[in-house]
Structure 1
Amino acid sequence: MTVKYTKDHEWVRVEGDVATVGISDYAQSQLGDVVFVELPEVGRELTQGKEAAVVESVKAASEVFAPASGTVTEVNADLEGEPAKVNTGAEGDGWFFRMTLANPAELDGLMDEAAYKDFVEGLH
């Protein structure tokens, strides 16, 4: 299992050719209380760097971008009734969707956890 991060604060956990995607704990802390999540449809083809989902908080709405290209295989339906799971478990129960990767090599350009922590530190 590998976890990578994007500069847009998405995380992707890869197991084989299946990737689970969500927003980082840093991103949810910046957003504040999450009140709504718009998830992609199962079967949707995603392109790396393009919008995949939307998360809305009491402060703002923010796009969630696909960390890699692929096909959505599952969404976290729990978020529809309980969007606050993004706040309580951004990198756990608050995941957004799972996808089959079209080109796993696209993940090579993403940051590992240590690099992402350094990136976030540089934002302050």
Structure 2
Amino acid sequence: MALLTLEDVDNEQKYLEGKVSQVLTNKYERNPANRELCLAANGYLCKICGFDFEDKYGKIGYKFIHVHHIQMVSSFGREYYLDPVKDLIPVCPNCHAMLHRTNPPMKPEELKELIRKQQNGDK
């Protein structure tokens, strides 16, 4: 699928979205207790960029954060035990998305270093 440029788009043209299709997929269940233990130990700030949802958005951001599995759940192919403090990390949605931009997902330390280099103008 190619992206359209502004020059390619007729402002009067409408483009369809929302076609329904069925997909068969495996879903790997997450145990909410592991999330809670991770957050009890690590808090609700993004461990990569330091973003604080409550500080930015007030009470609607209270206790909002994603939790990233450092080892992909799907890589195990079965149920397994994890250490919520070592195997999970609180991250903001932006950092979470950036971790998953590579396959396999990059390590949190790698993204932290990438951000540091970008902020310092290192290429």
TM-score, normalisation: structure 2 = 0.24
Q: Report the structure, 1 or 2, having the larger helix content.
A: 2
Higher relative contact order (CA 8 A, sep 6+): 1
Larger Rg: 2
Q: Report the structure, 1 or 2, having the larger strand content.
A: 1
